[in-house]
Chains A and B, each alone.
Chain A
């Protein structure tokens, strides 16, 4: 019983991170692409754009971090593994 729970926990932790990373990865790609576009159009505003970009990237990355935290909860603080 416990072995099966551990097996499923490890599998679902890997699933959580791998699928949870897809959305933020696509979103970060889009954000960087638009920022590059904006800087190419208006090189003067590169400072403002890149500062906003970093903050926005950190916000997007948080979604992947949530998945990572859930995976760690499943691995290290799983209530069903005695």
Chain B
């Protein structure tokens, strides 16, 4: 990463649309994840294969986390939370492949995820409480809190964006700086730290998404 971390130069142009590197990496990761999941789930077996066991472990872990964090049955939320967690995890770890820059190290990808979380919060809130029931939660505990609650909705999404972006981007940035200062093989300890940071940030992002949605649907039976 020799250019500014806030800019993404276009690699090629398809008509008026500029295609940047994060877009390509994102689509490759999406294709790989979908292909793997489809290949395993098309041949589900009562006696599971290795890949099926692996997927079952992932799904049941996500279910357990949703149950313990949101205190609701995981059914309606499993797909959203699980997808966010697995994609961010794979995207963060994609920096281990030489020449690949993780798409989460760019502000646009993180903004897209946080926007999804923001919309999901409103969607699940309205679905479980009704429109007026959801709007009424802004007036809790008293109506004086309405401006604060609205500001909080926006700032927590901003902190979600900057948290993921800053952590992953700083990892890539430090790796590049150490590589240019010290040379080959020296950034390996930093990359090992990046693996840990990437996993923790993916976990934190999905846990915070769970907390936000859980707060919006609280009290659902």
Interface set of A (CB-CB < 8 Å, partner B):
54-55, 58-59, 61-62, 65-66, 68-69, 72-73, 76-77
Contact = CB atoms under 8 A, between A and B. Distances in A.
A76 B170 contact: no
B197 A77 contact: no
Given A65-B163, A65-B170, A54 B6 contact: no
Contacts, number: 42
Contacts of A59: 204
B200 interface: yes
In the A-B complex, list the 3 residue pairs whose CB atoms are closest, starting with the nearest: A65-B166, A76-B4, A58-B200
B6 A68 contact: no
User: Would you call the interface of chain A mostly helix, strand, loop, or mixed?
Assistant: helix
B4 A69 contact: no
Given A68-B170, A76-B5, A77-B4, A58 B165 contact: no
Contacts of B196: 54
Interface of B: 4-7, 159, 162-163, 165-167, 169-170, 196-197, 200-201, 203-204, 207
Given A72-B5, A72-B6, A54 B166 contact: no
A73 B200 contact: no
A71 to B, nearest CB: 10
A69 B197 contact: no
Given A65-B166, A69-B162, A69-B165, 5 more contacts: A55-B203, A62-B159, A65-B162, A65-B170, A68-B166
Given A55-B200, A55-B203, A62 B6 contact: no
Contacts of B204: 55, 58-59
B44 to A, nearest CB: 31
Nearest to B200: A58
B81 to A, nearest CB: 16
A68 B173 CA distance: 11
B151 to A, nearest CB: 17
A54 B159 CA distance: 19
B174 to A, nearest CB: 10
A12 B166 CA distance: 18
Contacts of B159: 62, 66
Nearest to B196: A54
A73 B6 contact: yes
A77 B200 contact: no
Contacts of B200: 54-55, 58
Contacts of A68: 166, 170
Nearest to A77: B6
A22 B196 CA distance: 23
B119 to A, nearest CB: 23
